[in-house]
Chain A
Amino acid sequence: EAGVTQSPTHLIKTRGQQATLRCSPISGHTSVYWYQQALGLGLQFLLWYDEGEERNRGNFPPRFSGRQFPNYSSELNVNALELEDSALYLCASSWRRSWETQYFGPGTRLLVL
């Protein structure tokens, strides 16, 4: 069974640009979660999507947004990039009723210059 996949593995942007990160969940999972792992801040919850809708959101500004497609894959968009957005962005998936057990992908490392 294929795990959660994320693309790209690395992304380099300059301040003010937009970044788009992609995630494909494990087959059969309908929920997708996004987390940010920044140096010194640890892993922080960003967003939860299930059945195409945003179900929960962490304490991040509106320039962090995303969507979930009918095939349950997801995109995370970060607008107006700031230097402190540099981090590893991790996507996870689960069955909706088992949201506590989340399976993580390898992450996308975003560097903002």
Chain B
Amino acid sequence: SQQGEEDPQALSIQEGENATMNCSYKTSINNLQWYRQNSGRGLVHLILIRSNEREKHSGRLRVTLDTSKKSSSLLITASRAADTASYFCATGGTSYGKLTFGQGTILTVHP
């Protein structure tokens, strides 16, 4: 079963705009991370945020985590056409080795 619920399911924006994706989860976590997947291929690790962190930045990416609301958001600033992909949140908990993925947000950035 999927732990994470992501919204929106699909997001379409113009190049230069910001894109925000949200993820909610159900059980306690040790960390949450975001991955990108291009056209049904492998996943690319973007960023990991631990349960004791509230915000993290990496380049044009900003991730927030609210453990009280069991939710996270991924902000991509100044989007580019190359950012077009599916974005997944994944949580790691007490079942070691296992990442539990959300259903993903399909982001389309129009040039």
Contact = CB atoms under 8 A, between A and B. Distances in A.
B48 A48 contact: no
Contacts of B92: 99-100
B97 A56 contact: yes
Contacts of A88: 40
B42 A42 contact: no
30 contacts: A33-B97, A33-B99, A35-B99, A37-B40, A42-B2, A42-B102, A43-B43, A43-B88, A43-B90, A45-B100, A55-B96, A55-B97, A56-B96, A58-B98, A88-B40, A90-B42, A92-B43, A99-B96, A100-B31, A100-B33, A100-B92, A101-B45, A102-B45, A102-B99, A104-B35, A104-B42, A104-B43, A106-B42, A107-B42, A109-B40
Interface of B: 2, 30-31, 33, 35, 40-45, 48, 88, 90, 92, 95-104
Interface of A: 4, 31, 33, 35, 37, 42-45, 48, 50, 55-56, 58, 88, 90, 92, 99-107, 109
